Amino acid sequence: MRTTLWAVLAVLASSAGWAAPLSAAPAERGDTVRVLVLYHSDTGHTRALAEAVAEGARSVPGAHVVLKPVQEAGNADLETCDALLIGTPTFWGSVATPVKEFIDGQRPFMGDKVGGAFATGGSDGGGKELAVLAVLTAMLNNGMIVAGPHYEDEGFRFGGFGVAATTGKDDPGVDEAELERGRVLGERVTRVAMRYR
């Protein structure tokens, strides 16, 4: 029994050296991680949330962040990024047409890049979570690793699968709490990309 225990400990010790590079700092381009934040916005709400997401990503040392409307992005942007965050307004419980067209038109395989999603919508039950899940589903189908924000409330820790903001007449605009959740999402996806790469 004692011999078996020492054998197991020896295997664990040797595998720790093998596993360490998975969380090591990036080596290919120094400490730089390239983060692409794409969005579609008709009213400016999704753009405001995208700016907060980009701000959170920029808070990570070594992050190079590009923020642009999805209509201005191309395959070259996808090929060169390490992390991709996509934001969409919610249209009838799903993603906006320009976002769907962009996703359907992606050509590079995004395997092992890190992704995240966020959405805005006019009402609490309007499908913002479904829009976020639709983006994440497309990312998973394209080989990406997806990450959501982590939160802590009175010692209780939990995660979310994305960020959503309510922007209808009952809750106009994107409030500071929603912007802060966007910053948390941007920072989290960037840190995961930094550690993973």
CA dist 166 → 93, 135, 170 (Å) = 13, 18, 9
Nearest to 114 by CA among 90, 88, 147: 147
Query: pLDDT 10s digit of each residue in the chain, 197 long?
Result: 444 434 433 433 333 333 333 333 333 556 799 999 999 999 999 999 999 999 999 999 999 999 999 999 999 999 999 999 999 999 999 999 999 999 999 889 999 999 999 999 998 888 999 999 999 999 999 999 999 999 999 999 999 999 999 998 877 789 999 999 999 999 999 999 999 87
Name the one residue in this structure whose structure tokens are 């910053």: 183
Say if pTM beats, i.e. exceeds, 0.85: no
CATH superfamily membership of 31-196: Flavodoxin domain (3.40.50.360)
Report the first-to-last Cα separation within the chain, whole angstroms. 40
Nearest to 84 by CA among 101, 105, 67: 67
Angle between helices 97-104 and 128-141 (to 10 degrees): 10
Return the pLDDT at 30. Answer: 60
What's phi and psi for 120, nearest 5 deg? -125, 155
Return the pLDDT at 29. Answer: 52
What distance in Å separates the CA atoms of residue 38 and residue 54, rounded to the nearest whole number? Answer: 10
- Find all residues with CB under 8 Å of 157, minimum gap 6, and list them: 150, 151
Both tokens assigned to 170: 């009952």
Return the pLDDT at 3. Answer: 45
